[in-house]
Amino acid sequence: MLTLTNHHRPSVTGICLAFTKALHQAGCNVLICDLTLHREAQAWIDTLKQDQNDNSESSPRIAFTKTDVSDWPQLEKAFDTYEKEFGGVPYVVCPGAGIYEPSAPNFWNDKDDSSYKILRINLDHPLKMSRIAIRRWVQTGVRGNIVLVSSTGAQKSSILTPLYGAAKQGVSNFARAMAPLYDMEGIRVTAVAPGPTMSPLMYDHPEAIRFVDPDKDKLCSTDEIARGMMAVAFDVPNKNKYPPGTVLEVTHPDRWREVFLLNDPGPGPHAWTSRKNEAIVDVVKALEEDKKSAGKKR
């Protein structure tokens, strides 16, 4: 059983949709928590419903509940919805919501209101969702499983995406910090760190896809990332290969590696996009606007 949150935009697609499919195939019920269903997710769910109508045997179900992951009471409500829909508490929680800096209000365009939306979604939400899950598991005696979504961006720094990088660094370090929780309460916390991935987070947004040179850059498939998520979640096929607190870099179908806190060699060759530095013009433009607005109140 599982509860799954995904991208804050109309989504449930990409990495978390691939993970949802893998879990469903493994026999898990899934509650998707999102603003709305992306067309790809809706098409898949419609196919499942048709298959269930044609097959009288019981099979795992997919449910959806509208959720704004930046609103903490709605995160709490998601667990109540899971209990009503499936009974009990979920065994796996994946707070996978994410937005990318070029295609959202960001550090340089000053379009946020009272706080940075990217940090609310990419950092605050997975930490708060994890806290709620831990409390509910401890209250019910369930040995639960949290799978977080970090990024190879946590191992790099870029003036173009400073908030995204800071959020993903926080997610990675949070996963490592929670490693002792397994010995204390049997609760497992891990993370995957994908490289650039061919998902709607990239191809639905021209602000992001312009970083990519299709002739030079190798983008991961979402199925590759989902396999890594299944591996850290259930530590298969080799027991104890991915202990609690693991941050697993997935930038290639078979060349996975653990990202270490100290003395880490850094991300692999597929963790980069060729054209990202061309977007420095956005930073220059923002700084020029700052100069023009000297003496003016914001």
pTM: 0.89
pLDDT at residue 202, as a whole number: 62
The residue ranking higher by pLDDT, 272 or 70, is 70
Bridge-based pairing of strands 256-258 and 247-250 is antiparallel
pLDDT at residue 6, as a whole number: 40
What torsion do the CA atoms of 14, 236, 180, 81 make, to the nearest 10 degrees?
50
Identify any residues that bridge with 92 across adjacent strands, giving them in sequence order: 2, 145
Task: Tell me what the mean pLDDT of segment 232-248 comes to.
Answer: 84
- The domains of the chain are located at 2-292
pLDDT at residue 7, as a whole number: 44
Residue at 160: amino acid letter: L
Task: Tell me what the mean pLDDT of segment 98-114 comes to.
Answer: 84
**Highest CATH level, class, for 2-292:** alpha beta
